[in-house]
Amino acid sequence: MKRSVFALLLSAAGAMAFSSAALSETPVNIGIVQATSGGSAALYGLMQKNGAELAIDEINTSGKLGDYKLVGIHQDDAGDRGQSVNIFQRLINQEKVAVILGPTLATSAFAADPLAQKAGVPVIASSNTAPGITDMGDYIFRTSPPESMVFPGVLAYVKKKYSPKTAAQIYGIDDTLMKSAYAVHKKALESEDIKIVATETFQKGDVDYSAQLTKIKAANPDILVIGGLAEETANIVRQARQLGIPPSTVILGANAAISNKLAELAGAAADGFTVGSGWFIQYDSPKNKAFVEAYRKRYSSEPDNFAAQAYTSVYVVADAVKRAGGVSDLKKLRDAIAATKDLEANNGSFSFDAHREPAVTPKVLVMKGGKFILAAD
């Protein structure tokens, strides 16, 4: 009887201690606005959600933030800007988040980010590559290098390796990101004195690009530059080769086209497809190797650059929370995020520049055997 009472007292004491410990934790609410439905946007959103949630769990388990506990609040905007706006309002006004990661698409960012800027809630994008993202305000950051930072290096590599004289462009005319990518690509081509011999467009939902590609084939360009998301790009690449555009015509894509799904959707036609990225899976650092291994173990799949950039975003937040001494003052948190410098990350070290852009050196990647690998000179 005495033993039973003693055991009961021990159990009660343990429960009280656990309850006290739980109560001592200060939650740091992080809004994760990523499309996990809604067509091609979900290719990016799901990877970013995975990367962010993996980082949150790692940081909480490590105890590096002491009594602070990161709490991810995921909301699926389905790649729809109207939903993004509603979700941002809810996260800011009801969930009282300290920071928002996302949204997936630049079109949604231009609609929703101003709400966070006005409310003084930091936003960190990990897939928005269109020009003007950080120009929306001093609370807007991104770990995804913009297209203007990535594509010129890709084109310089291709020019050095293949000496192209002519190019064709095809891009999505009804997408903010792809229209801006087209402008970046066009400017880069012109600056390299590569003559544009054909320009074609497509719209969201298109699946047959044969009319545009037939015209491009007739122009016989040395390179083909695609301004499209991953699913669209994969279909264009596959159909281009099926229509007889030869392997000697090197196909280049936007940063937004990087997805592990591209090889799956385009098949062998994707071999030689060339893009630029701020991260690549073979990056030789302990942090990156640990990230890749942890991602594979948890999700039974390979991470892509968007998963990696979302993962980095969470570590940026955690580092800033620690330096800011919490999240009671979001202006102080914003300043701590802006001051991020040489943070150990899965692409080496990570810093923001004065414009809240990622201070990284983009790499050129080439698709080979179904995987993106670092381009060789």
Q: How confident is the model at residue 9 (pLDDT cuts 50, 70, 90)?
A: very low
pLDDT, tens digit, for every residue of 299-355?
Answer: 999 999 999 999 999 999 999 999 999 999 999 999 999 999 999 998 889 999 999
Output helix, strand, coil percentages for the chain, rounded to the nearest 5.
Answer: 50, 20, 30
Cα–Cα distance between 230 and 129 in angstroms, integer?
14
* Contacts of residue 326, Cβ cutoff 8 Å, sequence gap at least 6: 26, 28, 68
Contact 223, 194 (CB under 8 A): yes
pLDDT, tens digit, for every residue of 212-256?
Answer: 999 999 999 999 999 999 999 999 999 999 999 999 999 999 998
Average pLDDT rounded to a whole number, residues 352-367: 94
What is the pLDDT, as a whole number, of residue 18? 44
Cα–Cα distance between 143 and 309 in angstroms, integer?
6
pLDDT, tens digit, for every residue of 134-150?
Answer: 999 999 999 999 999 99
Q: Count the neighbouring beta carbons within 10 Å of the beta carbon of residue 371.
A: 14
Q: How confident is the model at residue 16 (pLDDT cuts 50, 70, 90)?
A: very low
| CATH number assigned to the domain covering 26-145+283-361 | 3.40.50.2300
| CATH number assigned to the domain covering 148-277 | 3.40.50.2300
Note the helical H segments in 128-204: 147-162, 176-191
Residue 175 pLDDT more than 90?
A: no
* Contacts of residue 48, Cβ cutoff 8 Å, sequence gap at least 6: 32, 34, 101, 102, 104, 126, 127, 306, 307, 309, 310
* Contacts of residue 120, Cβ cutoff 8 Å, sequence gap at least 6: 139, 330, 331, 334
Pick the closest to residue 167 from 96, 94, 224 (CA basis): 224
Contact 299, 49 (CB under 8 A): no
Average pLDDT rounded to a whole number, residues 28-50: 94
Q: How confident is the model at residue 24 (pLDDT cuts 50, 70, 90)?
A: low
Contact 337, 30 (CB under 8 A): no
What is the pLDDT, as a whole number, of residue 205? 86
Phi, then psi, of 203 in degrees rounded to 5: -125, 160
Among 63-72, 262-271, 310-319, the least confident range? 262-271
More confident residue, 275 or 22: 275
Name the pairing type of β-strands 166-172 and 68-75: unpaired
CA distances to 9, 13, 34, 114 from 4, in Å? 9, 14, 51, 61
CATH 3.40.50.2300 region(s) of the chain? 26-145+283-361, 148-277
Q: Count the neighbouring beta carbons within 10 Å of the beta carbon of residue 181.
A: 33
Q: How confident is the model at residue 20 (pLDDT cuts 50, 70, 90)?
A: very low
pLDDT, tens digit, for every residue of 211-223?
Answer: 999 999 999 999 9
What is the pLDDT, as a whole number, of residue 204? 86
Q: pTM of the prediction?
A: 0.90
**Rounded (10°) CA dihedral 220, 224, 229, 233:** 50
DSSP class per residue in 18-71? HHHHHHH-EEEEEEEE--SSSTTHHHHHHHHHHHHHHHHHHHHHHTTTTTEEEE
Mean pLDDT of the chain: 92
Share of the chain above pLDDT 90, in %: 82
Average pLDDT rounded to a whole number, residues 60-81: 96
Q: Provide the token pair at 275.
A: 């893009």
